[in-house]
Each structure stands twice: as C-alpha cells, then as structure tokens.
Structure 1
Amino acid sequence: MNGRRLRATSILTGVVLSALALMSWSQAWYIVVLTGQSAGHPPLSVGGDVAAPAVAALSLAAVAACGAMAISGPFFRTVLAVLDVVLGACVVLSAALAISSPVTTVASSVTDATSVEGAGPIAELIGSLSATGWPWVALVAGILLAVLGVVIAVTGRGWPSAARRYEPVRLEPAGDAEESGSDTAVSEWDELSGGADPTSR
C-alpha cells in the first residue's frame, strides 16, 4: 500500500472508530428493573451519557485529531498519533469502569427515579440489571483507536506531505522584459500627453 492510500485509509478508519464510540455513547448501556417499594416503576434505561459521559468529548477530540493529521507535517502527525493513543485509552478506561461496576454506574439514574441515595439502599432496590452490547462497542472502539494511533506513529512519516497546497504564494520580482515593457508604456503615455500622435508610427 502506497503512502497516499495508507494516509487515506488510516484517517478514514480513525473517523469511523471515533464515530462508533460516539454512537455507542448515545445508546442505552443498562436496563434496570427496580424492586421493593419501587417495583411498580417502569424499567430504567441508562445511556452512555450517564454511564460514561467522557466518551463523547473523547470521541470528538479523536475525530479532530484525525482531521488534523491530513494536513500536518511528519512531526505534528506523530504528536497527533500519540494523542490518538491517549484518547483511545481514555475511552477504554471509561467503558471499562462502567462495565466493571454496573451498580455504581446506574446509581445516579436510580436516585433520580426514586430519590433513594446510598450504595446499599440503591443495590437493594435493583431487582435486575442487564447490560446491552454498547459498552463493549465503546470498549472495542477505544482499543482500536489506540492501536491505530500506534500504527500512525510508526508509518506516518511515510505519508506524502499535503503542506504544499497550504503554502503562501511567493511573489517574484518582475523580469527585465517586464520592466522594459513598463518603461515603454510610460514613455508612450508621456508622448501622448505632449501632443504626439501614436498612429503616425
């Protein structure tokens, strides 16, 4: 794969993975069925915006980093690739925390619905707690983002530079021919002002 195609593939992959993480953030991560005094309450749908609120900002930052890679030079491309690794790792951490501690993750939603606070009372109110597949989608997207960042850091120096189209236009001094042409035009204008007939030549 040549450098141009590798650049396009890497950037597109980064955007897709970031969009996937962002989409998972907008979906339901847990379904909570309450029991006890709140048994009649409808099941609670806890979304990624509650379970892992940082995923949205991290995903948008990853999209911006991928876009910047398209126009950056080798040095800044490497810096952005390392940033992509960090962002992917943070997405993984956010999703992993939500997966490893589901009761804590849904606690704020249960409190909003029942006004019950405290880890113990909230755990007693939860009759069943089921996870959807979206936390795992965010986790996998974060892992792949981090891996992609490593790949770009290694291969990014071989990408063709796109900086030429953004360089300022250089104005070069006019040549001798242009100068002589300009002098001729000035002299002709002076002759015309003095009453000479230019058609008599």
Structure 2
Amino acid sequence: STLQRDNSKMLFSTTLCVSSVSGSSMYYGVSMSTHRKPARQIMVAAGCLSYWDDCVAAAVMSYCPQKRRKSYFDGTFQLPADVRCEAFSIEYQQMMVPCRSCNNLFNLETTETKTNPYGNCAETESLSNLLKEEERVKQQVQQSVSERVNDRARAERDVLKQLKQILKPYSSFTWDNNYYRPLNV
C-alpha cells in the first residue's frame, strides 16, 4: 500500500526511556527514529562525536562501528545503585527489559538475548541527559572508567572515519566536519 511505502521515510521512535537518581528529576530519551542504514549509522556517529554526554559516547564507541568491543578501548560503565533506568514500548504501551547491547554498554540487568545496534536504544539518550545534569553520578561513572588504559582519540577517529565513508557516495553533500548544536533554551 501507499502508506507502507511511505513508512520507510517516516521518522518515529518505538521506545521511550526514563532515567532518574533517587530524589532527582527524570531524564527522558527515545530510540533512534531511523531504522535503516546508513541513516542510523550517521545518527549514532553524530551522537558519539558531538551530542551525547562523553561517558555515554565512550560506552557506545567501545562497540561502534565494529559491533564488537574494541581491544584498545573500553568506555563501558556500571551505573551507581541509586540510578533507575526504565524503557517503555510506545507501540505496545508496556515496560521493556534492556537489550543485550544496553547490558554490554551500561551493565543494565537484563534477561533479553537480543542485541540492538549500539547507540540505537532510548537508554542511550536518557542516560546521556542524566549524566549531563547529575554531577555526582557523572563523577562516579568517570572514576570507574578512568582506571582503564584507553585510546579514546583512536576510537573517535574510527567513528569519524566510518562516518566519512558513509557520506562518500553522496557526492553532492559537502560536510565541513561541524555539527549543529541547538541553543539551550
């Protein structure tokens, strides 16, 4: 049908996530609204390189773009015990357990065996928003990761290299290596 053909170009998120620390505000995130390559890869790379909190970006870059954890970089982390992170299916209006990817990135407890594309989940944006505002939590996460020997610059170069490779076929598109940053309103 016409509607089904047009759905391939629609942007919509299927999952909403809410994260909070005991006694704090709630921080929201949604899953990537892109369901196909290369759009999803572009959005995840842009999130890693420009938009997400640096700890969340590091966790995603640990697996991105290769989809297996890098031997030279591990930015994955475990959240403090007082942080709640819950995802909900927008379509089915029910709670969801974290996928295996979120377990790998943020050590979220799960029984799920499905691995979603790294950085695609609502937990990524929700936790990024939380870490941007909750300094104590951010410091605890940074402390746990700082003990590792990591080559973050190399991980960032790998993500940027993949992004440029994805954009190469679009010769009419020129990119100046800058990202749009919305104003804080």
Q: What TM-score, normalized to structure 1?
A: 0.22
Larger Rg: 1
